[in-house]
A and B are shown apart, each in its own frame.
Chain A
């Protein structure tokens, strides 16, 4: 069927219609059957017989007669006295009690009006009454035998019927629910996968050739995923092109500087040129990695041993500072502590924070990297002994290109102004936080909190 709306509408309409119609028809048939039973019963004959018994044997004989009436006519005959009680003390059916109540109010002296509605007429119907020799008025009432088994057959058949009804309606409902739920759960899984960065995901094939709203939703989803994928590819492509196009002239400049050196001999300007091309190059690299943090997906996530990673950073930074132990690690958690994520991003986050600390510390002062567990997170403090950052600027140091006065003075050191911004982005991408505070020794303390691998 073309439309989900139509499918639901028709299915519900049919089901509810069938239920109401079925109930009404079977109720009607049952009522009609009872009616027929009553009508078939010859009230006149019984009346005559009862009258005779009453006249000859009195009330007791009538009771005996009632008790021994055959039951195969499908009716029960009740003889009710003036108080509305059965003469053999049987419980009257509820409907009959009400009937008698009503008739006691209306004296039979009000004759039935032929023009009245059938319901009215029935109410004023004259009940067959018998007069006992002692003057007591007894009323004869006839009710159909309400043996449930007689209509609904035997109980095992009833069970079968019920089972059958349950199975049919179950199959129908299941088909309906499945028609809706299955594609929805497929779509949901695809949405989750898409959000996790699996931009290849498409659903139209797995939804089949549905022409309803869900099929359309699936195709719209695919179109959206396609667009996202193309945008991501363009972004990556753009990054690569920017990198390539900006670096090619830099590469040529560097060769040109060397060639010029050979011709002109060593000039201080060549060193300047070289330093600045190097700085431009690292700025391009940092800009690209800052931009790339967002579009990378979770596909490359691995388990990262943080002790190894921090040791590697410390080793490398020490190596760069001529093998001096500028970075000291104070590892207060187990060496097996791990997080989940992209190693490259976390490495550059830690490295940028540590490098920043070393850059702002006086030569003979250590930078301390302290690891602890705080609130089930791995908390890495990087503390330097530099001049620190004014409290009002603490939050701003993670903004791209933000510079404190001291870092402006240190410009010659080749900072790009992106290091801490990259660190913040990378850590937040991994569900962690970065914050800056004043260190105990007066310098800057940067705290990286990362969720542990579960």
Chain B
């Protein structure tokens, strides 16, 4: 886990105080330092001041809910966010991803699963030095070192997950990348039954590309298989 000196900094925003204490305890053993805030306002204040690698955000909180907190965070930052949702509540889950969460975990979750997702996202956020590369296709330009993506001169504001998906598709333009691979690369986990997260991230990515003025390249869906990037003419 410790690719970088010092523990990773995680901000947990959840109104369940006892859970916060236990998670802090649990994750401390994995060299992850958790800062706990119990409501949305304090969470946002903490986020503005601190320097975090990742945020874990509960959807259901009194006061400002998790979705609103996420929206506010996304105005300024593309920090990885894992949402904690109620199990079976598709609406929360999908809206969470649409608003820009990187991943979600239904509550009650297995803490080992949470740990695995945190690790996957943190690992992805810190590419090793050997990987430095610039990928280009049509108007799209992606720099894996600076973690920046552009369409012409317009910078794409992508979340970590969206960046990884785009990178994955750019590596093999015109070839189908299946959803399992996308999930493993971008989310660091296996695709789950009824898992629509990749589809939602792709749809967000399409929206951002189009908004940035990209008209040529299209992300095409190969039903039941995966996605491919088709270069323009």
Contact = CB atoms under 8 A, between A and B. Distances in A.
Interface string B178-195: 000000000000000110
Given A285-B87, A344-B90, A247 B107 contact: yes
B111 interface: yes
B34 to A, nearest CB: 12
Contacts of B26: 255, 258-259
A316 B190 CA distance: 13
A250 B88 contact: no
A90 to B, nearest CB: 95
Nearest to B190: A319
Contact of A254 (B29, B109, B193): B109
A47 interface: no
A252 B89 CA distance: 20
Given A285-B88, A319-B193, A251 B16 contact: yes
Contacts of B19: 248, 251-252, 255
Contact of B111 (A254, A289, A344): A254
Given A255-B23, A319-B193, A244 B86 contact: yes
B22 A240 contact: no
A105 B89 CA distance: 103
A340 to B, nearest CB: 19
Contacts of B194: 312, 316, 347
A258 B110 CA distance: 8
A409 interface: no
A281 B108 contact: yes
B29 A262 contact: yes
Contact of A281 (B60, B87, B111, B193): B87
B112 interface: yes
B22 A252 contact: yes
Interface in B84-137: 86-90, 107-112
B179 to A, nearest CB: 11
B94 to A, nearest CB: 11
Given A252-B18, A316-B194, A258 B111 contact: yes
A224 to B, nearest CB: 28
A256 to B, nearest CB: 6
Nearest to A289: B88
Contacts of B108: 247-248, 250-251, 253-254, 277, 281
Contacts of A312: 194
Nearest to A277: B108
B87 A316 contact: no
Interface string A272-316: 001001000100010011000000000000000000000110001
B111 A255 contact: yes
A320 interface: yes
A329 to B, nearest CB: 13
Contacts of B25: 259
A243 interface: yes
Contacts of A347: 194
Interface string A218-239: 0000000000000000000000
Nearest to A286: B88
Interface string B13-49: 0001011001101100100000000000000000000
B193 A288 contact: no
A344 B94 CA distance: 13
A347 B88 CA distance: 12
A316 B109 contact: no
Given A255-B19, A316-B193, A240 B86 contact: yes
Contacts of A255: 19, 22-23, 26, 111
Contacts of B60: 240, 244
A240 B85 CA distance: 11
A280 B135 CA distance: 48
B39 to A, nearest CB: 15
A258 B16 CA distance: 18
Contacts of A247: 86-87, 107-108
Contacts of B110: 254, 258, 274
Pick from B19, B25, B108, B110 the residue with the most CB of A within 10 Å.
Answer: B108
The 10 A-B pairs with the shortest beta carbon distances in the complex, nearest first, are A251-B108, A316-B193, A250-B108, A255-B22, A258-B111, A285-B88, A255-B111, A251-B107, A254-B108, A252-B19
Interface of B: 16, 18-19, 22-23, 25-26, 29, 60, 86-90, 107-112, 193-194, 224
Given A247-B87, A281-B108, 16 more contacts: A243-B86, A248-B108, A251-B16, A251-B107, A252-B22, A255-B26, A256-B22, A258-B110, A258-B111, A259-B22, A274-B110, A285-B88, A289-B88, A316-B193, A316-B194, A347-B194
